[in-house]
């Protein structure tokens, strides 16, 4: 990966940084505009569906016969984004795992605060099992809030006595909504996208009076014992870096198989920039091999 690639990406992202304003609808509009400007590859098909009463977007890639299923959770700090806007990154996971990806369109705060997202994620996974999909043929994946939600769903499924999926891939997980990570301050200048000031109003929207340290809100504080193997990736230029490192540490202390990859000089959910960042495609390749090794 060249310094020029990283510098160009940083400059682009600083022009579209997550704004520290309180208007959710304006933030949603800006994100939709940004992501919609990136067309899907011609070989990717996205189909609206429903799983367990929860809307989903089913993502398939032409020429790939799906042998597995990836349940995907989009990012957006629990208030932004949707399953369809995440389809391009989700399709990259599909390519590397010979899978159909089901992107979960979980309900968003502030209209639907916690536990709506957690309930929807578990309902979708439970329906996948009820429909006859073997858990050994399922992996979870998610970015940012979706990475945190993927881990929370593992915890929730375990606590409900459900069999767990084969593995999970989390990108730049938003795993501590108390915003206590040390990199909230130490990486403030390096992060071109996020800041504690931008995150705090959205925490309030989602938590809605609950304790932000609850395990299903901030899985860094959950009992992680017995969870599926995890691969966690993050960049050094993000305020959420400490969320990833502490989540990996907590998983390891709970005897979970965990692979932590920290990529220098790259931003939050750097994998999304694979067309212009060599290390992003390489990281996706490694995650694909990890998931494929654990899937049936």
> Where does the chain have alpha helices with state H?
3-14, 24-36, 87-97, 116-130, 145-159, 183-186, 196-207, 241-253, 278-294
Query: DSSP secondary-structure letter at 80?
Result: S
Is 268 designated active site?
Answer: yes
CB 296 within 8 A of CB 136: yes
pLDDT in tens, the chain (296 residues): 578 998 888 988 888 665 666 688 888 888 787 777 678 999 999 999 999 999 999 999 999 999 999 999 999 999 999 999 999 999 999 999 999 999 999 999 999 999 999 999 999 999 999 999 999 999 999 999 999 999 999 999 999 999 999 999 999 999 999 999 999 999 999 999 999 999 999 999 999 999 999 999 999 999 999 999 999 999 999 999 999 999 999 999 999 999 999 999 999 999 999 999 999 999 999 999 999 999 97
- Pick the catalytic residue from 58, 238, 274, 294: 238
Distance (Å, whole) CA 73 – CA 95: 17
Query: What is the tally of structural domains in the chain?
Result: 1
Is 294 designated active site?
Answer: no
Domain of 229 in residue numbering reads as 3-294
With vertex at residue 173, the alpha carbon angle to CA 102 and CA 210, rounded to the nearest 5 degrees, is 95
**CATH, residue 212:** 3.40.50.1820
- Pick the catalytic residue from 91, 103, 144, 172: 144
- Pick the catalytic residue from 68, 74, 237, 268: 268
What pTM was estimated for this model as a whole? 0.95
CB 191 within 8 A of CB 267: yes
Is 22 designated active site?
Answer: no
């Amino acid at each position: 990966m060249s310094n020029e690639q990283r510098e160009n990406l940083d400059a682009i992202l600083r022009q579209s940084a997550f704004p520290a304003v309180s208007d959710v609808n304006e933030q949603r509009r800006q994100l939709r505009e940004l992501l919609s400007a990136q067309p899907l590859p011609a070989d990717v098909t996205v189909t609206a569906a429903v799983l367990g009463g929860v809307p989903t977007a089913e993502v398939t890639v032409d020429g790939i016969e799906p042998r597995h299923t990836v349940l995907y959770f989009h990012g957006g700090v629990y208030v932004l984004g949707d399953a369809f806007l995440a389809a391009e990154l989700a399709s990259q996971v599909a390519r590397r795992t010979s899978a159909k990806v089901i992107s979960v369109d979980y309900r968003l705060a502030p209209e639907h605060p916690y536990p709506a997202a957690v309930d929807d994620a578990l309902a979708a996974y439970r329906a996948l099992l009820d429909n006859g999909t073997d858990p050994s043929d399922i992996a979870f994946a998610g970015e940012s809030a979706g990475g945190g939600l993927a881990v929370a769903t593992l915890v929730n499924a375990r606590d409900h006595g459900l069999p767990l999926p084969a593995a999970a891939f989390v990108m730049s997980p938003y795993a501590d909504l108390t915003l206590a990570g040390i990199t909230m301050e130490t990486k403030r200048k390096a992060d071109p996208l996020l800041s504690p000031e931008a995150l705090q109003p959205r925490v309030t929207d989602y938590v809605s009076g609950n304790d932000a340290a609850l395990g299903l809100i901030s899985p860094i504080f959950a009992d992680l014992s017995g969870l599926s193997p995890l691969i966690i990736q993050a960049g050094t230029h993000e305020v959420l870096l400490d969320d990833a490192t502490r989540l990996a540490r907590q998983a390891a202390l709970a005897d979970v198989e965990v692979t932590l990859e920290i990529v220098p000089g790259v931003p939050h959910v750097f994998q999304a920039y694979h067309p212009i960042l060599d290390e992003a495609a390489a990281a996706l390749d490694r995650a694909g091999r990890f998931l494929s090794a654990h899937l049936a």
